[in-house]
Every structure is written in structure tokens, then in C-alpha cells.
Structure 1
Amino acid sequence: MKIYKFLEEGRPQFGVLEGPATVRALKKSPFDGPIEPGEKTWPLASLTLLPPTVAHPRIFGVGFNYKSHILETGRQLPEIPPLFMKPDTALIAHGERIVYPEGSTVVHYETELVAVIGRRARNVARADALAYVLGYTCGNDVSERTIQRQEMAMGIMTIGKAFDTFAPIGPCIETSVDPSKLRMRGRLNGAVVQDCDTSDLLFGVDALVAYLSKSITLMPGDLIMTGTPGGVGPLRPGDTFEVDIEGVGVLSNDVVAENT
């Protein structure tokens, strides 16, 4: 099942995909209980999409979680997930524009699978962890590397990941895929620059949900950006970046210079 969030008469609305190109309204948010289809329908192409989550989710990121990416950086495999957080002001939807910060010279794309938490989770066993995930969406963990490298030299990772528009997700939540066996591709201006399978993850979605929930109560709509494979590289104003995840969808965002 594919769940979309979009604007309807100026207000957010959730719906589910019917057939190849029609979205049917949901009676309530999928984060508020069982999914109940409503009466109204719209052509998918006519909708203004929103990030498919709650209004102000927490966004957890994982660094160095694909073996291919760890190897290209020359690091050792971490013993626990290297975590950071992005503010909800970084969140944008499919089709919205990534803003290249004024004064920046090194901004990178990062193709990622994003797990969307569906219900409250605290101290969850790994064997039960996926039952707390509503589904999965595409994400791009956009990163300002100059600041990030300065921060990492001090043992932190905050502002380099946190700029406004640096967390595109979408276009929808897919509820019926196996997160351990998905092909992911990142395309820069139509050319494939990242190509990997989620089987390369060091810490899978189940492990991440279990680890986080031991200390943090995960809430419906929280997002876990699970990490990027090898092949990260620069974005520039005028570029278009696409995150294409098997069975989930394609997230596409143009890049524009700040103050344009």
C-alpha cells in the first residue's frame, strides 16, 4: 500500500493509491489508528505532495551504515550506530527545491531508505521492531561537508546536516516491502551515481528501531534515515537529484542557489 500526504483545499490530507494514478482519501491520519479509506478521489498528478509524515517529526540519521560507504571513507566498522538528528525545518517533499546555502562550496547528496514509525515504541526487542514501522519512503540526507568535517573533528555532527531543505523525503510511504532487500539508486541529472542493495546495511531497520527505543520513546511519524551507500558526491545549483528505491518510489528534487 502506498500512502500519500498532500494539500486539499489548503489543508493536509492523507490518501492511498488506487490503481496506477488515483489517490483515495483516508478518513483519518494513518498515524492515528487503522487505515480507513474514504469516499473522495483525486488524480495523483493533480496533487501537491507533502512530506508523508506528521507535521513535526523527529528525524534520526545514521552515519556510516553501509559497508561500501564505510570502506570508501577508510573507517573501521562502528560497533554501535553513529547517530545524529536533523530538525524538522530541514524537511521538504518530493518536487520541492533543495536550497544550496550561500557561501557553501561542498554540498553532497546521500541516497537513503527512510523508515517511518507507525506507533509508539519503547524498549522494543529487535525481533518485534518492524511491527512498529508503518512503512518506508525515499530520502536524501543532504550534507554541507565543509562544516560537517569541522564538526566531526570535534566529535559532533549537527549543523552540516541541519540546513533548511536538507531532508527531502517522499513521495509516499510504502507499507509492504522488505527493508533488508531493496535496490537503491541515486541519479544526478539522470546519471546513476549510487547503486546499492539494502542488504549492505551494517545496522538494519530492525536493529536501529530496537537500539533507539532502548533510550528514546519513538513516536508515530518519527523518521529514521538509515544511511547512504558508496558513491556520494557534490550537488550544485541547477542539478536535479533522484532517489529511486525498488518498490517504494522515486523522490526528485531540484537544487537552487540561496536567495534566487
Structure 2
Amino acid sequence: MQQFARVLTENGIIPVVLRGDEHLDLRPIVSDITPEAIASGALKAVDTTGLSPVRGPFNYLAPISGLRQISATGFNYKKHIEEFKMKPPTEPEVFLKAVTSLAGPGDPISRGPNAGTKLDWEVELAIVVGREAQDITAAEAPNYIFGYVCLNDISDRATQVDSEGGQHLVRAKSRPGYTPIGPYLTTGIDGMNLDLWTKVNGRYEQQGSTSDMLFSVNEMLAYFSRHMTLLPGDLLATGTPPGVGFGKNRFLTPGDVLECGITNLGDQRHEIRH
């Protein structure tokens, strides 16, 4: 396992690889963590010998710069499906989120100008694509997965559903700040055996395991590759466990503190603002 991140220091943005509690400067190897760096293979099994620790205070940024696509699915956890008393889907749902919605793991989240916003949380495991994928099989999928990040699929439920009950996922999930990722981009782990959780003001709202997925990460990647070309660095969010606010009619308000995390991918913390 290796964990990568991007940090903002007084000297600018530095890509790092973790070694224990140390954050080692990756710039002797890559100038930044980008789709191009991922595709080049430079971040595969990085030799940390000779890399220097980053000194002084820093803040975590989104762990990938220059992302081109964010694809996502819904209702992929069996307990989440049961929570809404739904029939399990026979194939994954496919939708996209705007790249401009990306944010860092500690950035504040603004509800936006809509007074009726019903802001909700969805902690999700997101696949980071390692190489261009088109029409691959589930058996081939591990060769196309570079690693994983924690993604919070922030959603405005008020704009997600129209007056006739129609779903509008892209518009509900694409405002700036609605897709915080990080802090770590982690490689060399089993994506199907990770715990994930969400807290609001210190109270657990979501607790689950990726082992509860209806469609595995390999099946998901293969399915999406049949409908679009996936590029190095792209994210594929794989759904959320039970406990979203929509099912409880409880939503985020200004002043709330939203936290989430996934095993080996680090924790996020966000203040909710107007």
C-alpha cells in the first residue's frame, strides 16, 4: 500500500507520498499528481529512499490535479437499497458530476443561493482509473485501477427531484464544492473490504463496508467502460451505504460540521456555510 496526497505549504503546492507519519516530497519524481503522472507509471511502487520530509504546517488539497471526468452510480449498497425499500437494480446507474464541483478534504461547503436547499451527505469509495479503459471485462478491471480516494457526494435533494418526481442528479450534485475528495489517494489495497462512515456534528449518520456492494468495483469499472471511455485519473464513485439525510428528512444547515472517512483513505472535515 502507498498513500499519496497534495499539500499546500507556505512554499506552494507539494505532491507527497506518506511513509509512516512523514510526508515525503515527491517532486524529484513528479511535479504534481496529475492524470499524466498516473498514466506514466511514475507513481507505481515509488521508492521513497532519498525523498525528503515536508517541513512546517500544511493543508491537504484534493489529491489529484487536472481531473477530466467524474462518473458515479447510485443504490449500490444492499443495505441502502433495503433502507429505501427498493427492488435491487439489475445493472448500475450511470451519471456524471461536473469537474468544477471538486474540492479538498477540509474545504468549507457552501449551500448556495437556493433558500430551499436540502443539503445531504454520501460518503463513497471512488475508483481512480490508471489507464484508458474501453469495453473491458470485470476480470481485466484490476489492471485498470490505479487506486482509490474517499469522495463525499454532496447533493441538494431539493433540486434533485422535480415537482413530478423526476430525478435530476447532475444538477443536484455539481455545484462548486459538492465533490470533496481525499485526503489520500491510496494504491495497493482491496477496494471490497473497507469501512466507511459519516458524522454530522460528531454523531454517526453512516457506517458501512464496501463488502456490502451489489456490484463490485471490478464489475462497476467494466460496466462504465462499455458506455464511455475512462481516462487515467478519472474518478468513478461507487455508491453510498445507508444513513443519508434524505431517508431521515434531516439535512445540513449552516454551522454544521460534516466529517467522513474510509479505511486507509483518510478523513475529511467540512464546515457548512450559507
TM-score between both structures, scaled by the size of structure 1: 0.91
**2:173 is paired with a residue of what secondary structure?**
helix
* Counterpart residue type for residue 272 of structure 2: V
**Match of 1:64?**
75
Secondary structure of the 2:182 match is strand
Letter in 2 for 1:17: L
1:244 corresponds to? 261
Gap change, CA 1:79 and 1:172, over 3 Å in 2: same
Change (3 A) 1:40 1:21: closer
Aligned to 2:99: 88
CA spacing shift, 1:10–1:214, aligned 2, 3 Å: farther
Instruction: Name the counterpart of 1:255.
Output: 272
CA offset digits 1:26-63 (Å, max 9, x no partner):
411441322255744304x7223221123133111111
Identical pairs, percent: 33
Describe how 1:175-186 pairs up with structure 2 within 5 A: 175-186=187-198
Q: How far, CA to CA, are the matches of 2:148 and 2:168 in structure 1? A: 27
Alpha-carbon distance in 2 for matches of 1:23, 1:190? 31
Contact 1:70 1:77 in 2 (8 A): yes
Which residue in 2 is equivalent to 1:198? 210
C-alpha separation between the residues in 2 aligned to 1:89 and 1:5?
Answer: 18
Per the alignment, do residues 216 and 12 of structure 1 end up closer, same or farther by CA in structure 2, a change over 3 Å counting?
farther
2:16 and 2:23 in contact (8 A); partners too: no
Secondary structure of the 2:218 match is helix
Separation in 1 of the partners of 2:152 and 2:167? 23
Q: Is residue 91 of structure 2 the alignment partner of residue 74 of structure 1? A: no
Which residue identity lines up with residue 248 of structure 1 in the other structure?
L
What do you get for the CA RMSD once the two structures are aligned? 2.0
Could you tell me how far apart the structure 1 residues matched to 2:172 and 2:8 are? 30
Alpha-carbon deviations, 1:201-259, whole Å to 9, x = none? 111110111011123111111011111111101211111111121222112221111xx
Distance 2:163 2:181 in 1: 25
Report 1:123-202 matches (<5 A): 123-150=135-162, 153-202=165-214
CA distance in 1, matches of 2:150, 2:68: 16
- Taking a change above 3 Å as real, the CA distance of residues 193 and 152 of structure 1, as seen in their structure-2 partners, is farther
Report the 3-state secondary structure (helix = DSSP H, G, I; strand = E; otherwise coil) of the residue aligned with 2:147: strand
Provide structure 1 residue ranges, at least 5 long, that are not aligned to the other structure. none
**What runs of 5+ residues in structure 2 fail to find an aligned partner?**
246-250
Q: Distance in 1 between matches of 2:163 and 2:68?
A: 24
Q: Do the aligned partners of residues 93 and 152 (structure 1) sit closer, same or farther apart at CA in structure 2, a change above 3 Å counting?
A: farther
SS in 2 for 1:76: coil
Instruction: Give the AA of the match of 2:42.
Output: P
Q: Is the CA contact 1:151–1:157 (under 8 Å) kept in the aligned structure 2?
A: no
1:6 counterpart residue number: 7
Evaluate the alpha carbon distance shift between residue 247 and residue 82 of structure 1 in structure 2; reply closer, same or farther with a 3 A threshold.
Answer: same
